[in-house]
Amino acid sequence: MLGVTLTPCLQGLSDSLVNATSPYLDPSATQYIPSWVYNLPEDEKEEKINLIHKYGSPNVFSGFQPHVTLVGDSLSSDDMKAMFDATEFEPLITPVGEVGLGKVGEFGTVLKGKDVAGPVVVWKEQETEIL
């Protein structure tokens, strides 16, 4: 996973998406508590469990940690880490143009051909304010 800087704009986009999509949440998503949540301090554990029960994820709102997940079938995780550690990435600043919704598999991977809602334009070049 590559880290992404959490900006107020990105936090606002995430919060907006969570609020907009929560009515479509599969109720079964609110029942599974990852084992790592039980190892958190009591107040944080309680907050994460409440978020799961309401939004299906422990990592929304104040727990949102943006990242880009990269997958390579033929590389080991050590090989991928070495490759990314040796690569310098230029910062990328670009507005989000569209957001789509799709069903996900057991580990949060979006499933091909299982779109729930097609792309929705959230930004247009002539607009000056992004969410």
**Sequence ranges of the domains in the chain:** 2-93, 96-131
Helix (H, G, I), strand (E, B) or coil at 113: strand
Comparing 108 with 57, the larger pLDDT belongs to: 57
Comparing 127 with 21, the larger pLDDT belongs to: 21
DSSP-assigned letters across all residues of 65-84? --EE----TTS-HHHHHHHH
Most confident of 13-22, 28-37, 101-110: 28-37
pLDDT averaged over every residue in the chain? 77
Average pLDDT over residues 7-28: 85
